[in-house]
């Protein structure tokens, strides 16, 4: 039965979508994925098993080809912003409206959507209300919708889990505002995926809103205490009657890799208890056995310990720089280029492994204090900072966050190009390329910094920091060579 259905998955560069695809493939479904840029999916181990179609939910003319012959469509697209912005909200609603209308016109049987838990009568935060409004807009299309609503999703790499993890590990004494004592029903990522997959073959879930949660009903304070207990840490929580969502988000901004702009909507959503209100999920999905928060944390930590993290919260471009598309680099007026070349008697593959291993815990092989200082300065002005690390200690794929860079292009054995996501007056890239020199037979390593300045401030920034960059980048390429030679 499963192989007769064509399934469309959106949001595949995001946390949930990226994990859903392999689950659907394992059940034998014919999977099509929607993306704005197919290159961003390179490196996924399932890419050859799916049909990739480029399109944009904000460009309705691109959607009919995406929906053609689709039976079930997953809508896993939702933006986050810490700013109260009517245009931002309307853009999300328009995206859902376009998707629903296209699904209706092309005969899609059902839309599956993952929204957020919360009682609509409880004065929900703007973010949670928007999640639920998205479900309403999808239903207005006339297509049958199955809407799941979940609170915190616990899994290696999820935004909420990472916030709890970093706060607990880095802050021995935590000032705990009122929202820390709200009740929540966290759910393991594996249970979320079970519900999403099983719903396809359950027609009785059509036109249903289904709250889903784990077996534990606890507070956020309990979540941190349990995490500390599992990790063998002693932590003290001091309750305080103040600390607004704005102040709390800046606290998270400095203590975790999650910037204030993304932490704030999460925190604003914590003011209410978010619990499953009925037994609908249990009745419709008796085969799903929700696991406890403690078990979910243990499973997530096991994934982290073995570097088996499939997706992370910062995979999606919206997590840091909006939907900015990659830029094709050219050598032309207005683009400042700083290039260094070394020839090394080491196999090309080994050199590639060294520069693709940069960042995260390994660092950048030179002046680590300067990189960290740059990250601190970026945090001060609201940027992503330096704490995002990397998804895997050695493997990279297009779209990965790498400290304050984003992997924009990667060609196995040859090229790695990173786009800067720290706040700069312009746009910046750092590229590494390994090739075989025809004359000498040695490996030629080319390290290039590109900067496209924005106005006068951009030019001043480039020339003011050029002496520092020159020193750091020269040292970096020399140390890449040394490491490659030492490991050969």
Q: In the prediction, which pLDDT does 80 show?
A: 56
Domain co-membership, 114 together with 78:
yes
CB 374 within 8 A of CB 368: no
Q: Per mean pLDDT, which range of 312-326, 402-416, 425-439 is the poorest?
A: 312-326
Q: Please indicate whether residue 251 or residue 230 has the higher confidence score (pLDDT).
A: 230
Q: What is the pLDDT of residues 144-177, one digit of tens each?
A: 999 999 988 998 777 777 788 878 877 888 778 7
- Domain end marker among 282, 314, 346: 314
The answer on 157 and 73 residing in a single domain is: yes
pLDDT of 293 above 90: yes
pLDDT digits (tens, 9 = 90+) for 44-62: 889 899 999 999 999 999 9
175 domain-assigned: yes
Do 253 and 339 share a domain, yes or no?
A: no
pLDDT one-digit tens code per residue, 179-193: 788 899 999 999 999
Question: Do 436 and 445 touch, CB atoms closer than 8 A?
Answer: no
Task: Provide the domain limits for residue 457.
Answer: 333-487
Q: Tokens for 241, please give them.
A: 């009657």
Instruction: Give percent of the chain above pLDDT 70.
Output: 86
Q: H-type helices in 387-487, by residue range? A: 455-487
Q: Give CA torsion, residues 422, 425, 431, 437, to 10 deg.
A: -160
Is there a domain that residue 323 lies in?
no
Q: Tell whether 82 and 178 lie within a shared domain.
A: yes
| Domain presence at residue 415 | yes
Residue 217 reports pLDDT greater than 90: yes
Is 379 within the bounds of a domain? yes
Return the CATH number at 146. Answer: 3.40.50.720
Does the predicted TM-score (pTM) go above 0.75?
Answer: no
* Biggest CA-to-CA distance, the chain: 74
CA-to-CA distance for 429 and 434, rounded, in angstroms? 17
End position of a domain, from candidates 314, 345, 373: 314
Nearest to 24 by CA among 54, 39, 2, 52: 2
pLDDT at site 3: 52
pLDDT at 241: 74
| 253 & 304 share domain | yes
The per-residue pLDDT for 123 is 77
In a domain, 11, yes or no: yes
* Residues pairing with 112 in the sheet: 74, 146
Q: How far is CA 434 from CA 329, 363, 448, in A?
A: 18, 20, 12
pLDDT for residue 324 is more than 60: no
Average pLDDT over the chain, rounded to an integer: 84
130 — pLDDT class (breaks 50, 70, 90): confident
Regarding whether 288 and 385 lie in a shared domain, the answer is no
- Quick: pLDDT tens for 334-393: 567 888 899 999 999 999 999 999 998 899 998 888 888 888 888 888 887 777 788 888
């Amino acid at each position: 039965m499963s192989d007769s259905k064509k399934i469309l998955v959106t949001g595949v560069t995001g946390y949930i979508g990226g994990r859903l695809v392999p689950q659907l493939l394992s059940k034998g479904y014919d999977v099509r994925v929607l993306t704005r840029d197919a290159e961003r999916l390179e490196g996924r181990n399932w890419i050859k098993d799916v049909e990739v179609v480029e399109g944009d939910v904000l460009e309705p003319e691109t959607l009919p080809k995406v929906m053609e012959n689709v039976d079930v469509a997953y809508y896993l697209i939702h933006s986050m912003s810490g700013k109260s912005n009517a245009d931002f909200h309307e853009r999300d609603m328009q995206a859902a409206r376009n998707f629903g209308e296209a699904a209706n016109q092309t005969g899609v049987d059902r839309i599956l959507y993952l929204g957020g838990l919360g009682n609509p009568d409880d004065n929900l935060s703007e973010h949670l209300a928007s999640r639920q409004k998205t479900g309403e807009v999808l239903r207005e299309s006339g297509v049958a919708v199955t809407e799941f609503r979940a609170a915190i999703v616990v899994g290696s790499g999820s935004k909420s889990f990472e916030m709890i993890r970093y706060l607990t590990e880095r802050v021995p004494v935590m000032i705990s505002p009122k929202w820390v004592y709200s009740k929540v029903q966290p759910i393991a990522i594996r249970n979320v995926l079970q519900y999403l997959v099983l719903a396809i073959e359950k027609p009785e879930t059509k036109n249903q809103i289904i709250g889903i949660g784990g077996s534990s009903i606890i507070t956020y304070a309990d979540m941190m205490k349990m995490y500390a207990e599992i990790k063998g840490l002693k932590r003290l929580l001091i309750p305080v009657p103040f600390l607004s969502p704005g102040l709390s988000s800046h606290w998270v901004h400095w203590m975790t890799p999650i910037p204030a702009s993304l932490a704030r909507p999460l925190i604003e959503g914590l003011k209410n208890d978010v619990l499953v209100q009925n037994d609908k999920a249990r009745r419709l999905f008796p085969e799903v056995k929700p696991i406890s928060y403690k078990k979910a944390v243990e499973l997530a930590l096991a994934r982290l310990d073995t570097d088996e993290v499939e997706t992370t919260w910062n995979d999606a471009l919206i997590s840091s720089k909006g939907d900015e598309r990659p830029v094709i680099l050219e050598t032309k007026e207005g683009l400042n280029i700083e290039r260094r070349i070394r020839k090394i008697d080491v196999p090309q593959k080994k050199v590639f492994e060294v520069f693709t291993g940069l960042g995260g815990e390994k660092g950048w092989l030179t002046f680590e204090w300067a990189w960290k200082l740059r990250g601190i300065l970026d945090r001060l002005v609201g940027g992503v900072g330096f704490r995002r690390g990397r998804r895997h200690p050695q493997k990279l794929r297009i779209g990965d966050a790498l400290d304050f860079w984003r992997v924009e292009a990667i060609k196995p054995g040859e090229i790695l190009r990173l786009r800067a996501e720290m706040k700069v007056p312009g746009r910046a890239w750092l590229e590494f390329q390994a090739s075989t020199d025809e004359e000498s037979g040695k490996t030629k390593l080319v390290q290039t910094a590109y900067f496209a300045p924005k106005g006068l401030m951009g030019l001043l920034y480039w020339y003011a920091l050029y002496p520092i960059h020159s020193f750091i980048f020269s040292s970096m390429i020399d140390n890449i060579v040394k490491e490659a030679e030492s490991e050969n």
